[in-house]
Structure 1
């Protein structure tokens, strides 16, 4: 990042000071937050401003300045009073004013502030009307933010400062326009909310192909460029680092590079030249990524793919660095082919890095989990050891290839492929929570910066609220610590008859189990539950109470609390075995009448009479949830999709539906051309 530039930061809101009467004292505090880099040294600071005493027309203020950067010899702190206050007397610093602008300079005995040290001073002041605390401070001209912005060349620190990150997905990358894929126009309020939720960077996927003119100039539509600049500037002003890239251009036209080299390269050069020029004077918090998920058609294989991407990455580097200004030292992000973490792809990108000999470059890959688990196919409904090992192997490879050599890594996108609030049940919530916990732990311990892919499935952008607060809490907790989990997040009870004890296996993940809570009530160990080793058992007495009237569905939720991290939710569910009825339909419209009786579908198998897999993905009997079959709980049906029947031979197929209670139903269908019949017999 450029030494001469600083990134604007989010400023914490001030608490208005309250009038003190009758001997009552009120205190107001405000802490400023942003990032800055001075010309000669990395600087960062935190200011704690407090009003321990206030009376009619006057007040006493206490100011503590903590140096988070390099040691300082000689300091001055500046701020602006928001309500016209004036300083009347000071101690431990010389305070002068010019209107509302105030400067406090060190005394002869406290000019030095070592790294991590704090200096304090105070003053008396006057006020009229209100006494609102200042919210922005500068130390030696550098904005105080609670962070330190790394110097140019310190790419590891720059990428670490971007953790955690958030993707503004399906927005500026939507085709043809920003709202075409269902998301609203981006607002500064949205970006402010993202920053307030703890995110420190935002990736702006941008598709440029519909917003520039023809060859040979490929001039970018000025309206579009202004819109991109607006969102970039809003993000920077909110204290977010910003990543800008070429996004769906990768498969729209860059993929044609092998067979249309001259035209693709000319277009690529023109776009990056114009983008680099437009943003050359932007702060170092703006980061460029050469291309999203690069891919090529018609090549001889992986070796040629790597060579072609090397050409594009080095050309991108040449253009941006040659454009001067802040781009001379701007952090650049280079992907592997397909942003894959396969070792051969990582090695190819490492070779590019070593050739460029530029230490202000980061590598990027994407991570959407073990594919069968991420889409719920082949029976991978649970976050098991195989799924976690895929995660560990991926993160180990990128750490060992890059981070261990001092090259930072950005996991530019992560989530599970088919997790979506519009497709409930594809990924069971508890299994997703385990995945989230593991991603947070394994990325953090390997020094990887993660940027969650959010196309609207996590944050409701219209309401500025998380669609599932519990998922967000788990993601946020994973930035700093581990959380305990359990073998399941649901306990199924019968709708009638005696209620038995139910056991789960605890996975403390290095934490200590503390107890169970229902709402605001602590459950009693020994009476409501027992713990033996890692086995948690809920007693019949407690389950009977929690089940209430035993209506089908979730009757209560208890939380397993651990010594750190977020609690583990356990739904107490009443369910009876689901039932199904005969049905007739067609290959384009077939639904099985189903009484779910409080249960939920986990997966479906399909086999011919000879035992071979039926339907798509004929290497497994377990089909892909939602793509090939879909429960409709409200309508009381299980839908078989046209995509399923498109690859089913005429004749009989046996379906086995697996439910989360452990129940299974066998159902047989017969396909005859476009006609389908089914029944339980």
Structure 2
């Protein structure tokens, strides 16, 4: 993954069911593969995980972006989580000497090989690449063609030579998220992408050893799954006519949902259709024609700020749907993890529910629901609450609270896909009247993992007046058990204020950020940088309970005041 953000339109075989070329680390890996071996190998790689923000860091060493030094224990634990492959992104730039040899520091090359060999020894398939070099120097290919191509060739010649006799469970990926500065447009981008991929293919094949038949992974421009980009990549596959090639793209979802902007707070029909269309396209263009596909990175772009940018239940529905659609279309997926998901020292998941949902989706469809929240107003007698279930072909077997199984027909009823929790049950569950989650109901289905529903006691949140600057305005907020979904910003004349001025709904975590422990909402400089001086802005805060609150901002120079209403 790079800092570049692009607006994307974007295996029936169970994990480990197919084994292809089990050659040992450092071994030759056996005879040449048959035409179907690439598909079998990529199927056996499902599911995969990225060792992100480590060997791909652009600092002095693998710890410079905050992750610990890689250990074999980490890779052993990744294997124990059910992963069959690991993508090891590698940035080479800062470890290379000058032209014309562009010699890679031998110590660094040895370290990369050590990590690769550990992963292979743990039984993992491994994918290595040329990573952030894409935006450091490879992007200059249109304006510095010969120099860039010479460096690219020198880089891959050294990598290929180092790993020429490694197991064929090691795959090479030509370049990460490639793009080209100063090109004349799509046609030239396609030509340059083809040149990079074919240059990579030719030099690796010429290097001999296991590289003569090693599986090589080729991306589209920007690793994009857009129709035009995958069609261009398909043309390269046709020209190379090599059965040991694999296509790769990245998928971070429908962009407004992925970053929580423009009011896309839910995994709705539009977001779902974007995913369906993308995976259908990949299957039609590649898989159906015998070319395997690796989704080399997937996740949500909002995770770059915080994994709470997307509401928990909506996040889980996205990952559930993605995993199942990938399985049905025989696409291998590799989770992008820059250290935010699997803790690399404790070897535990920071969000166990997310891992549980992902792992289930590798083999079966789990039931979900329209929401994972039931709000009960404090001090009032609750009404019964109805939630629409997404059964995914399953049936609801039980509803459990703690160690108690609720009684069907008494505590709850089910009619078709409608689950209703009785008013009496909700009153009992919220008897403490403490703000926030009072109980968690576990919906148990006939297959897959449970769906947890939080029963929440709340009152309408309360905002307070504040004074600050265009550097930051902190709005004291009593959330009263509620949570913020999104925020709108509109000038007095009705036009949209703040960044992304094509929508009134601002980007969660970028234009505004709630802090529930300190009780405030912060509007950072990124918001005020795009607010006119001497202006009045009306903010509308939308909360998950359905509450909406108005707040007025007045900017004069660098001074900002905020008032309720």
The alignment's TM-score, normalised by the length of structure 2, stands at 0.94
Q: Does residue 643 of the first structure (1) align with residue 526 of the second (2)? A: yes
Q: CA deviation at 1:171?
A: 0.5
Q: CA deviation at 1:5?
A: 6.5
Q: CA deviation at 1:513?
A: 1.3
Q: Does residue 234 of the first structure (1) align with residue 250 of the second (2)? A: no
DSSP 3-state at the match of 1:466: coil
Unmatched 5+ stretches in structure 2:
1-18
Residue 286 of structure 2 aligns with which residue? 402
Residue 280 of structure 1 aligns with which residue? 164
Q: Does residue 419 of the first structure (1) align with residue 435 of the second (2)? A: no
DSSP 3-state at the match of 1:482: coil
Q: Distance in 1 between matches of 2:95 and 2:416?
A: 61
Residues 461 and 187 of structure 1, relative CA distance in 2, 3 Å threshold: same
Q: CA deviation at 1:369?
A: 0.1
Q: Distance in 2 between matches of 1:171 and 1:665?
A: 43
Q: CA deviation at 1:36?
A: 11
Q: CA deviation at 1:532?
A: 1.4
Q: Does residue 552 of the first structure (1) align with residue 443 of the second (2)? A: no
Q: Distance in 2 between matches of 1:638 and 1:185?
A: 36
Residue 53 of structure 1 aligns with which residue? none
Q: Distance in 2 between matches of 1:562 and 1:211?
A: 52
Q: Which runs of 4+ in 1 moved over 4 A?
A: 35-40, 150-153
Q: How does 1:125-524 map to 2 (within 5 A)?
A: 154-176=37-59, 177-419=61-303, 423=306, 425-524=308-407
Residue 588 of structure 1 aligns with which residue? 471
Q: Distance in 1 between matches of 2:307 and 2:346?
A: 20
Residue 603 of structure 1 aligns with which residue? 486
Q: Distance in 1 between matches of 2:451 and 2:397?
A: 11
CA contact (8 A) 1:425 1:602 kept: no
Residues 5 and 201 of structure 1, relative CA distance in 2, 3 Å threshold: closer
Q: Which structure carries more relative contact order (alpha carbon 8 Å, separation 6+)?
A: 2
DSSP 3-state at the match of 2:198: helix
Residue 143 of structure 1 aligns with which residue? none
Residue 547 of structure 2 aligns with which residue? 663
Q: Distance in 2 between matches of 1:230 and 1:38?
A: 22
CA contact (8 A) 2:20 2:44 kept: no
Deviations 1:364-385 (A, max 9, x none): 0000000000000000000000
CA contact (8 A) 1:458 1:466 kept: yes
Deviations 1:291-313 (A, max 9, x none): 00000001111111010010010
Q: CA deviation at 1:151?
A: 5.1
Q: CA deviation at 1:419?
A: 2.1
Q: CA deviation at 1:153?
A: 5.8
Residue 3 of structure 2 aligns with which residue? none
Q: Does residue 567 of the first structure (1) align with residue 475 of the second (2)? A: no
Residue 56 of structure 1 aligns with which residue? none
Deviations 1:415-471 (A, max 9, x none): 011125x62531001001100111011100001000010001110111100001111
CA contact (8 A) 2:96 2:102 kept: yes
Q: Distance in 2 between matches of 1:246 and 1:498?
A: 61
Backbone CA RMSD of aligned residues: 1.6
Q: Distance in 1 between matches of 2:294 and 2:114?
A: 24
DSSP 3-state at the match of 1:243: strand
Q: Distance in 1 between matches of 2:161 and 2:398?
A: 58
DSSP 3-state at the match of 1:275: helix
DSSP 3-state at the match of 1:554: strand
Q: Distance in 2 between matches of 1:519 and 1:5?
A: 47
DSSP 3-state at the match of 2:161: helix
CA contact (8 A) 1:552 1:573 kept: yes
DSSP 3-state at the match of 2:159: helix
Deviations 1:112-143 (A, max 9, x none): xxxxxxxxxxxxxxxxxxxxxxxxxxxxxxxx
DSSP 3-state at the match of 1:492: strand
Residue 8 of structure 2 aligns with which residue? none
Q: Higher strand share goes to which structure? A: 1
Q: Distance in 1 between matches of 2:143 and 2:113?
A: 33
Unmatched 5+ stretches in structure 1:
10-34, 41-149
DSSP 3-state at the match of 2:336: strand
Number of aligned pairs?
544
CA contact (8 A) 1:6 1:36 kept: no
Q: Distance in 2 between matches of 1:5 and 1:469?
A: 33
Deviations 1:100-120 (A, max 9, x none): xxxxxxxxxxxxxxxxxxxxx
Q: CA deviation at 1:37?
A: 6.9
Q: Higher helix share goes to which structure? A: 2
Larger Rg over CA atoms:
1
DSSP 3-state at the match of 1:365: strand
Q: CA deviation at 1:621?
A: 0.2
CA contact (8 A) 2:29 2:167 kept: no
Residues 4 and 652 of structure 1, relative CA distance in 2, 3 Å threshold: closer
